[in-house]
Amino acid sequence: MTGGINRKHIYLAGSVIIAAAFIVAVRDAVFRDLWFDESLTITNFMLLPKFSMIYHQYVIPNNQIVYTVLLKLWELLRAGWCAPDLFWRMFSVICAGCSIAVMLWRWRKSVSFAVLPVLLAVLTAPAFAVYATAVRGYMLSFLLILIALELARCMVLKFSWKYAVGFFFCCILAVGTIPTNILPLVAIAIYFFPFFGFERILDKRFLLLILLPAGALLFFYLPLLPQVINILQLREGWSDQQQAVVMTYAGFLLPLLPVVVAAAAGGIIWARKTSKYIFCWRFLIFLLPLLTIILIQPAPFPRVFFSIWPLWLLLTADGCRHLLPFFRRKRLALAGTVGLCIIGALCGKAVQTQSCRISALAARSRLDDYFCPYYMRPGYRPWTTVLRLQRLFKETRHKQKVYLSFASDPYSFILYGRLAGMSDKTWIFDNPRGQVTSLPEGALVILASRDNVNEELTMLKKRFDLREKPEEFFRSGMFTVFSTD
């Protein structure tokens, strides 16, 4: 177990297993249809004619600027034979694969074999499949925070201005992707605080860990200050703080429960043995989302905290590492590591199979960022619905006007309609520019299963002064098409 050859063999075997687990994790999710936020990213921002327009078009938080710019560059590489939505997803998949590789490569030096069960557990977490394949900036943020963490480690252990410049550049990219990435960057400073303590809190290295992220935030968003103020006035988020807390922490803790328990045990054993209680300050990293949700109303969407997972995973691996000496004394180091890998993977798989039931925790707000959001379910098929509508319009002379409820993800229908060659004028829906005032004669109506369908139909009849309540025309997964004839 301690020999160089054996260690290499163990890491090699573990890396192969983790690579296989990664493929399994993204295999199905990568082929799902684009949902509202993803489609909005493409239609309203990525497809803008100039790169500079993406930066200046910061009108809603959905424009994750750095990610959108990189996605536009990625789009330049797309071959004609590749499905556009699949190709766009592959950028996040690559970011996810690079993140796993960075953790395997860098963390094995600091946390030894403990990196294996932690990575295997996170790969079985439902949230990983969601964001490793999302056409959004969450996985890019994850990777940038990881790189910033490693540059900060280099800067703390052996200061060099090249590490400081690299760290600042990563900070700019991270906050330029999502402004709330300032939170995991603050967490990096907290992680390294025990190396300085209160006695050396003014050390140049620690001050840079604090000041550079703040400087990056100002550098990137100060030119956009009027837009930032307007976005803050939108007050987007979850109105239920308690649910936001539950989903934020349950998304991480449930699938990783065995390794988190092992980490807690290892951390307690190590702290009692060494009396280095200053490292307990790192526990604040786990509390940062809680403090943010308490202080901000409405609460941020739980998904914005996905970028703090690299710090949580590192702390979990740190704790598990402190159990290894206990297993070594009993000559069970390999068995203990393998056992924790198996138990962690089984726990994550169990959470996967029950993810839709767990998702009911967010039923009141009909939102779920971490377990089984509606767009991850088999019935979410806007592309199939668009194709059926296209056939209908070709085979009949039915009027090509379709009213979309907000819950049916209008921008997904717009995007897939474009890919199918349909005009944007086909779709009518309420949006920030104005509400629909009347339905064209013979228009179709699409509602989603997330709608309260009967109430919505009654409201539409009254709102548009229809003679009869719209009748069901056909169903396509979670979408139902109604006729107003």
Give tens-digit pLDDT for 127-156: 999 999 999 999 999 999 999 999 999 999
Answer yes or no: is pLDDT of 118 > 70. Answer: yes
Same domain? For 435 and 355 the reply is: no
One domain, residues 315 and 425: no
pLDDT tens sequence across 273-296? 877 778 889 999 999 999 999 999
Residue 419 has a pLDDT of 94
Percent of the chain at pLDDT > 90 equals 60
Q: Which pLDDT tens digit goes with each residue over 433-467? A: 788 888 888 889 999 877 678 888 888 888 888 88
Are 121 and 171 part of one and the same domain? Answer: yes
My answer on whether 235 and 102 are in the same domain is yes
Lowest mean pLDDT among 233-242, 325-334, 348-357: 325-334
Q: How many domains does the chain have?
A: 2
**Residue 4 above 50 pLDDT?**
no
H-helix or E-strand spanning residue 418: helix 410-419
Mean pLDDT of 173-184: 97
| Rounded Cα gap, residues 132 and 95, in angstroms | 8
Q: Which helix (H) or strand (E) holds 284?
A: helix 284-295
The amino acid at 236: E
Q: Which of 374, 403, 430 corresponds to the end of one domain?
A: 374
Angle between helix 84-111 and helix 138-157 axes, rounded to 10 deg = 30
Could you give the dihedral angle defined by the CA atoms of residues 97, 103, 105 and 107, in that order, rounded to the nearest 10 degrees?
Answer: -170
pLDDT score of 275: 73
Under a CB-based contact definition with an 8 Å cutoff, are residues 236 and 192 in contact?
no
Q: Are residues 361 and 396 in the same domain?
A: no
Q: Both 337 and 439 in a single domain?
A: no
**Lowest mean pLDDT across 1-5, 61-65, 81-85:** 1-5
Percent of the chain surpassing pLDDT 70 = 95
More confident residue, 203 or 468: 203
Tokens of 114: 């403990």
Instruction: Compare 234 and 104 and report the one with higher pLDDT.
Output: 104
pLDDT at residue 1 tops 50: no
What pLDDT score does 362 carry?
62
Residues 105-119 have a mean pLDDT of: 86
pLDDT of 2 > 80? The answer is: no
In this prediction the pTM is 0.94
Do 318 and 410 belong together in one domain? Answer: no
Query: pLDDT band at 366, cuts 50/70/90?
Result: low
Q: Which of 374, 394, 415 is the last residue of a domain?
A: 374
Kindly state the helix (H) or strand (E) to which residue 404 belongs, with its residue range.
Answer: strand 402-404
**More confident of the two residues 357 and 291:** 291
Query: What values do phi and psi take at 50, rounded to 5?
Result: -120, 145
**Do residues 287 and 326 share a domain?**
yes
Do 369 and 404 belong to one domain?
A: no
Domain termination site, one of 374, 393, 428: 374
Query: Are residues 390 and 335 both part of a single domain?
Result: no
* 389 shares a domain with 315: no
Looking at the structure, do residues 217 and 296 belong to the same domain, yes or no? yes
Label residue 186 by pLDDT band (50, 70, 90). very high
Task: Look at residues 271, 66, 293, 310 and name the one whose alpha carbon lies nearest to residue 188.
Answer: 310
Residue 476 has pLDDT above 80, yes or no: yes
Mean pLDDT in residue range 209-228: 96
Q: Does 327 score more than 70 pLDDT?
A: no
List the structure tokens of 76: 């330049």
Dihedral sign computed on CA atoms, order 237, 130, 254, 325 = negative
Structural domain range at position 222: 4-374
